[in-house]
């Protein structure tokens, strides 16, 4: 039965192809990709520039359309959902953490963290409020709730973005180079927070990264090359990941 086979997957794509441009001038960003993101895991997506990482992430998050193939978020096939249904689904079931933090500058930290609820036209329930308070506490943001994003350091801003992404307990958090703008010490803190969210709260996370150290925090590492998944690794050290990347570059 399809549902049982895939019940441990929080997102999956089947025979996914994505091309940009016109027929005569077409770029194949993804070619016949079939892959699932496992529930409760922290998955890193790696690969050289132009290998299709962002395209895969955007399609799985319902931010971009497919050329061929099918996409599911949980049990919902999103491939043919109308825009408004997709927007609602994304708001309720997906969280995002970006390299550039993407906080709303005019809102204070509290306002940024509860924004996903506001956008969904509601306020957090008592249980959700408790969860948010717990997140704020564990991310060390308690003293900052009335501050604006520009008053915080980069690492603090990214912690706010993580709190916002986790606040609705989404099925899946997508993190796009979440440490790209942070120094190495702050990067490690942010990565440790993501790993903790996955380990302790069962949060599923898919993170695009170029950085072997960042990927070493993940439970699983998918490597893309030329629009195809070429390796699917379990937890690995930064050295193992670097070695593999070097080998792939030499083979290319
Ligand atoms: N909107 C677009 N229009 C045309 N081509 C695109 C578009 N977006 C991506 N591409 C092409 O698709 C391919 C895959 O791009 P993608 O951004 O997914 O790669 P990536 O692995 O995320 O790269 P990077 O690590 O540099 O961000 C590339 O050849 C890219 O030029």
* Tens digit of each residue's pLDDT (9 = 90 or more) over 65-98: 999 999 999 999 999 899 999 999 999 999 999 9
Reply yes or no on whether the pLDDT at 2 is more than 60: no
Task: Quote the mean pLDDT of the chain.
Answer: 93
Q: What is the pTM of this model?
A: 0.93
Phi–psi pair at 175, nearest 5 degrees: -120, 120
Give the span between the Cα atoms of 217 and 33, in whole angstroms.
Answer: 24
Q: Is 181 in the pocket of ligand 1 (CB under 6 A)?
A: no
**pLDDT of the residue at 93:** 94
pLDDT band at residue 3, thresholds of 50, 70 and 90? very low
**Binding site membership of 51 for ligand 1 (Cβ less than 6 Å):** yes
Among 30-34, 100-104, 182-186, 232-236, the range scoring the smallest mean pLDDT is 182-186
Asked if 150 and 105 count as a contact pair (C-beta separation under 8 A), the reply is: yes
Q: Which of 29, 44, 227 to mutate to test ligand 1, by most ligand atoms within 8 A of the CB atom?
A: 29
pLDDT digit string, tens, across residues 29-62: 999 999 999 999 999 999 999 999 999 999 999 9
**What is d(CA 68, CA 85) in angstroms, rounded to the nearest whole number?**
20
Q: Which CATH architecture has domain 39-59+88-251?
A: 3-Layer(aba) Sandwich (3.40)
Q: pLDDT category, 5, cuts 50, 70, 90?
A: low
Cα(52) to centroid of ligand 1, in Å? 6
Locate the domains of the chain by residue range.
39-59+88-251
Which residue matches tokens 């070429």? 230
The closest of 4, 31, 38, 3 to 16, measured between CA atoms, is 31
């Amino acid at each position: 039965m399809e549902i049982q086979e895939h019940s441990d997957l929080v997102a999956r794509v089947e025979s996914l192809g994505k091309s940009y441009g016109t027929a005569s001038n077409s770029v194949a960003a993804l070619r016949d990709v079939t892959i699932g993101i496992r529930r409760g895991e922290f998955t890193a997506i790696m690969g050289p520039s132009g290998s299709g990482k962002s395209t895969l992430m955007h399609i799985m998050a319902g931010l971009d359309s497919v050329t061929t193939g099918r996409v599911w978020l949980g049990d919902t096939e999103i491939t043919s959902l109308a825009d408004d249904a997709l927007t609602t689904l994304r708001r309720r079931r997906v969280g995002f953490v970006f390299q550039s933090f993407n906080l709303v500058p005019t809102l204070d930290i509290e306002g940024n963290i509860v924004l996903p609820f506001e956008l969904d036209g509601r306020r957090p329930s008592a249980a959700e409020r408790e969860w948010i308070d717990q997140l704020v506490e564990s991310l060390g943001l308690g003293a900052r709730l009335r501050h604006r994003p520009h008053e915080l350091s980069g690492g603090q801003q990214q912690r706010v973005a993580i709190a916002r992404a986790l606040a609705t307990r989404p099925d899946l958090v997508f993190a796009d180079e979440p440490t790209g703008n942070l120094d190495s010490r702050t990067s490690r803190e942010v990565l440790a927070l993501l790993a903790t969210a996955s380990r302790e709260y069962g949060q599923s996370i898919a993170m695009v990264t170029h950085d072997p150290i960042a990927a070493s925090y993940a439970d699983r590492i998918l490597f893309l090359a030329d629009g195809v998944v070429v390796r699917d690794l379990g937890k690995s050290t930064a050295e193992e990941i670097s070695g593999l990347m070097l080998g792939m570059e030499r083979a290319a």
